[in-house]
Structure 1
Amino acid sequence: MSQVDLVIRGAKVVSADQIIDASVAIDGERIVAVGHDDLMPSAREEMRADGLYLLPGAIDSHVHFRDPGYPNKETWKTGSAAAACGGVTTVFEMPNTNPPTATVDALRIKQKAAESSYVDFGIHGLLGDDTIDQLEALLDAGVTSFKAFVGNTFGNLPAPTDGALLEGFEKLAPLGIRTVVHAENSSILFRRQKRMQEEGRIDAMAHLAARPAVAEIEAINRVLTLAEWTGARVHIAHHSSADSLFVLRDFKRRGVDVTAETCPQYVLLNTDHMLKLGGILRLNPPIREARNNEPLWDALLDGTIDMIATDHAPHAPDEKTRPNIWECDCGFPGVETQMALMLTEVNRERASLMDYVRWSSVNPARAWGIYGPKGVIAPGAHADIAIVDMNRTGILSQNQLQSISKISPWHGRAVKGYPLHTLVRGRFVMRDGKLVKDAAGWGRSVKSIQAMPAAKARNAEHYISAILKTPDGVRPTAEPVDVGSVFGNEM
């Protein structure tokens, strides 16, 4: 083999199945060799990584970079910088921007903004009542997947009606495209919030009271019923409740192609923290009682929940610290802190590094059809790598975040285990814990490498596209009806 660009020597390489002592050779954007140090080719640059771990870069399938529309909260450049500094090499960005990613014109605006990204990305388009006729065009123009806001959240996009959701699934099932669903029952949420506001409740715990677990249970059940009927692929976002896990388990047993994520906040935080932090912890779905933490963690371990995402949802500090909970914007930054938080739990022996790689990289890559090029450290794969020091300790600080949103519930939290360096397709975007600023714009869309498995559409004869035709396959035309010939001439 001729001289390559970089050889990382003396590391431990982590996959979902094993940890091996190995060196890694990188040429251009791809890994060209993984193996014994003596077998590595010569390189223009070498890095010693003795005592460090090489993880496939994390893939965060749930981020809000607020761009276009809300530059005071975040931009693609600042959000992707946060990802780079958190060991995240690919993100999937949500459509509740301004304008929403609901048309090709709106998508073009977002794609232009994404040209400043440090990391690779997918873009979720919007599935709503007014976008059903846009789905194929959005896919052709570059979206990788879709998002349906069945529960309301920032941006107040109207929840799709059940009819629109079913029709959307009918369109996407034959294509094999996965839809992310924010699964809460909006009718329940709106009514309960309105009743409490009328009674003057503005305390932090009112937000949880407005969004009980039954809203998640009902919505997941409804969405997965439609997915089962159509054969559509679905992804449940930010699973928050232990009480709804039985629904997810049941549909998985029945063969529905559903994946699910939870977030560090749902396994590590609870209402005890909400009472202290107030609006900083307001997000959708809400932070729940402590009894939910351990079952959600166990669901990660047993595969009921497939992956860790962050729901990175930044806002300005003043938008998070208002005394009235209903006036506090929902969400907080998370893409930069996720890896350190989860590695800390690995160090506490709650999971293995192999488990973490499965949750943070392998399973997201499989869910979004990019496994192979991404999600693995192997010859031929993109050189998306987080180089981690499992012994490094520190204190998380909101003041040091790359995100514009300098407010975080993780502020002051002790962690052990940090990403020191991040490579995206062979290029350092973070090195020695510092952002490589001239790497802005290196990120690119994963659309060109996306390859979803074969689709398994079901009940296609009942799809709207089928029932618009008569049994002979011809679309009917409206002919004037002779009322007399129908009812006789007695009228």
Structure 2
Amino acid sequence: MNQVDLLIRGARVVSDHQIIEASVAIDGEKIVAVGRDELMPSAREVLQADGLFLLPGAIDSHVHFRDPGYAHKETWKTGSAAAACGGVTTVFDMPNTNPPTGTIEALRMKQKAAESSYVDYGIHGLLGDDTVGHLEELVDAGCTSFKAFVGNTFGNLPAPTDGALLEGFEKLAPLGIRTVVHAENSSILSRRQKRMQDAGRIDALAHLAARPVVAEIEAIGRVLTLAEWTGARVHIAHHSAADSLFLIREAKRRGVDVTVETCPQYLLLNTDHSDRLGGILRLNPPIREPRHNQPLWDALMDGTIDMIATDHAPHAPEEKTRENIWECDCGFPGIETQMALMLTEVNRERASLMDYVRWSSVSPAKAWGIYGKKGVITPGADADIAIVDMQRSGILSENQLHSTSKISPWHGRPVKGYPLHTLVRGKFVMRNGELVTETAGWGRSVKAIQQMPTPRPQNTEHYTDAILSTPEGVRPTAEPRR
């Protein structure tokens, strides 16, 4: 083998099933060898990584980089810088920007904004009543996937009607394209919030009271019913409640193609933190009571929940600290702190590093059809690597975030385990804990490498397109009277 660009020596390489001592050779954008050091080629640069761990770069399938439309909250450049400094090498951005990513024109605006990204990316298009008619066009134009806001959130996009959701699934099932669903019942949320506001409740816990667990249970059940009937692939975003896990377990048992994410905030925070954090904690779904934390951990461990995402949702500090909870914007930044938070829990022996790689890299890569190129450290894969020091300790600080949003519920939290270096397709985007600023714009769309498994659409004879194309004069046979 000829001389390669980079050789990483002395580290331990982590997959979802083993940890091995090995050197890793990188040439151009690809990993070209993983194995014993004496078998490695010579390299133009050698990184001695004794005592460190090489993880596949994290894949965060739920971020809001706010551009276009809300650049004062975040841009692709600042959001992806935060990703790079958090060991995240691929992100999937949500469509509730302004304009929403539901037209070709809006998609082109987002693709233009993403040209400044430090990390690779996918783009979720919007599935709504107004977009169902051109989902295929959005796929052809570069959308990797879709998002349906069944529960309302920032941007106040109208929830798709059940009819539009069903028709959208009918269109996407034959394509094998997965739809992310914000699964809360919008009717319940809006009615209860109005009742709370009319009663004068403006405290932080009023937000939780307006979004009860039953809203998540009902919406997940409805989404899974439509997905199972059509054969569509779905992804439940930011799963927050213990009570709705049974629906996921049963659906997976029946073979429904559903993947599920949760976020560090639902694993590590609860209403006991409300007095101290107030409106900072306002997000959708809400931070819930302490009883929900451990069941979500258990669901990660047993595979009911597939992956970790962050729902990175930045806002200006003044938008998060208003006295009236209904005037505090929903969400907070999380992409830069996720890995340190989760590695800390690994150090506490709540999970293994192999578990973490499964949640942060392998499962999302498989869900979005990019596994093999992403999510694994093996010859032929993109050289997307987070090099972490499991012994490094520190205190998280919102003032040091690379996000525009300098407000975080994790401010002041001790952690142990940090990413020191991040490589995206063979290039350092973070080195020795510092952003490599000249790599802005290195990120590329993952659409070109996306390879979803063979679709399994169901009940296609009852799809809307099928019933609209019934030949003239042919009518379905009437059911016999009973």
Cα offset, 1:472, TM superposition: 6.5
Q: Distance in 1 between matches of 2:389 and 2:166?
A: 46
| Matches for 1:326-337 after TM superposition, within 5 Å | 326-337=326-337
Cα offset, 1:264, TM superposition: 0.0
Cα offset, 1:474, TM superposition: 8.5
Q: Distance in 1 between matches of 2:381 and 2:283?
A: 36
Q: Is the Cα–Cα contact under 8 Å of residues 205 and 275 in structure 1 kept in the other structure?
A: no
- How many residues align? The count is 476
Letter in 2 for 1:252: K
Q: What's the counterpart of residue 76 of structure 1? A: 76
Structure 1 position 340 matched with structure 2 position 340: yes
Q: Distance in 2 between matches of 1:159 and 1:249?
A: 26
Letter in 2 for 1:33: A
Q: Distance in 2 between matches of 1:462 and 1:472?
A: 17
Q: Distance in 2 between matches of 1:326 and 1:297?
A: 30
Q: Distance in 1 between matches of 2:288 and 2:412?
A: 21
SS in 2 for 1:333: coil
Q: What's the counterpart of residue 305 of structure 1? A: 305
* Percent of aligned pairs sharing the same letter: 83
Q: Distance in 1 between matches of 2:474 and 2:66?
A: 45
Letter in 1 for 2:211: R
| Matches for 1:89-238 after TM superposition, within 5 Å | 89-238=89-238
Q: Is the Cα–Cα contact under 8 Å of residues 185 and 218 in structure 1 kept in the other structure?
A: yes
Q: What's the counterpart of residue 50 of structure 1? A: 50
Offset from partner CA, 1:200-223 (integer Å, 9 cap, x none): 000000000000000000000000
Q: What's the counterpart of residue 276 of structure 2? A: 276
Q: Distance in 1 between matches of 2:274 and 2:11?
A: 40
Q: Distance in 2 between matches of 1:365 and 1:275?
A: 38
Q: Distance in 1 between matches of 2:5 and 2:45?
A: 6
SS in 1 for 2:13: strand
Q: What's the counterpart of residue 395 of structure 2? A: 395
SS in 2 for 1:311: coil
Q: Which runs of 5+ in 2 are unaligned?
A: 476-482
Q: What's the counterpart of residue 489 of structure 1? A: none
Cα offset, 1:274, TM superposition: 1.7
Letter in 2 for 1:116: S
Q: What's the counterpart of residue 24 of structure 1? A: 24
Structure 1 473/311 Cα, relative in aligned 2: closer, same or farther at 3 Å?
farther
Q: Distance in 2 between matches of 1:270 and 1:349?
A: 21
Runs of 4+ in structure 1 displaced over 6 angstroms? 472-475
SS in 2 for 1:163: helix
Q: Is the Cα–Cα contact under 8 Å of residues 65 and 313 in structure 1 kept in the other structure?
A: yes
Q: Distance in 1 between matches of 2:474 and 2:342?
A: 57
| Matches for 1:372-387 after TM superposition, within 5 Å | 372-387=372-387
Letter in 2 for 1:69: G
Q: Is the Cα–Cα contact under 8 Å of residues 313 and 332 in structure 1 kept in the other structure?
A: yes
Cα offset, 1:41, TM superposition: 0.2
Letter in 2 for 1:249: R
Q: Distance in 2 between matches of 1:322 and 1:187?
A: 26
Q: What's the counterpart of residue 60 of structure 1? A: 60
| Matches for 1:418-433 after TM superposition, within 5 Å | 418-433=418-433
* Greater Cα radius of gyration, structure 1 or 2: 1
Q: Distance in 1 between matches of 2:361 and 2:397?
A: 25
Q: Distance in 2 between matches of 1:192 and 1:81?
A: 38
Offset from partner CA, 1:287-339 (integer Å, 9 cap, x none): 00000000000000000000000000000000000000000000000000000
Q: Distance in 2 between matches of 1:474 and 1:144?
A: 38
Q: Distance in 2 between matches of 1:471 and 1:108?
A: 38
Q: Distance in 2 between matches of 1:198 and 1:276?
A: 26
Q: Is the Cα–Cα contact under 8 Å of residues 227 and 233 in structure 1 kept in the other structure?
A: yes
Letter in 2 for 1:286: P
Q: Which runs of 5+ in 1 are unaligned?
A: 476-491
Structure 1 position 368 matched with structure 2 position 384: no
TM-score, length basis structure 2: 0.98
SS in 2 for 1:242: coil
Q: Distance in 1 between matches of 2:146 and 2:243?
A: 26
Q: Is the Cα–Cα contact under 8 Å of residues 384 and 423 in structure 1 kept in the other structure?
A: yes
Cα offset, 1:470, TM superposition: 2.1
Letter in 2 for 1:52: L
Q: What's the counterpart of residue 5 of structure 1? A: 5
| Matches for 1:458-469 after TM superposition, within 5 Å | 458-469=458-469
Letter in 1 for 2:285: P
Offset from partner CA, 1:66-117 (integer Å, 9 cap, x none): 0000011000000000000000000000000000000000000000000000
Letter in 1 for 2:236: I
Letter in 1 for 2:18: Q
Q: Distance in 2 between matches of 1:470 and 1:172?
A: 21
Cα offset, 1:473, TM superposition: 9.6
Cα offset, 1:275, TM superposition: 2.3
Q: Distance in 2 between matches of 1:473 and 1:153?
A: 46
Cα offset, 1:471, TM superposition: 4.8
TM-score, length basis structure 1: 0.96
| Matches for 1:427-466 after TM superposition, within 5 Å | 427-466=427-466
SS in 2 for 1:26: strand
Letter in 1 for 2:431: R
Offset from partner CA, 1:131-162 (integer Å, 9 cap, x none): 00120110000000000000000000000000
Q: Distance in 2 between matches of 1:358 and 1:472?
A: 53
Q: What's the counterpart of residue 480 of structure 1? A: none
Letter in 1 for 2:107: L
Offset from partner CA, 1:379-427 (integer Å, 9 cap, x none): 0000000000000000000000000000000000000000000000000
Q: Is the Cα–Cα contact under 8 Å of residues 266 and 287 in structure 1 kept in the other structure?
A: yes
Q: What's the counterpart of residue 486 of structure 1? A: none
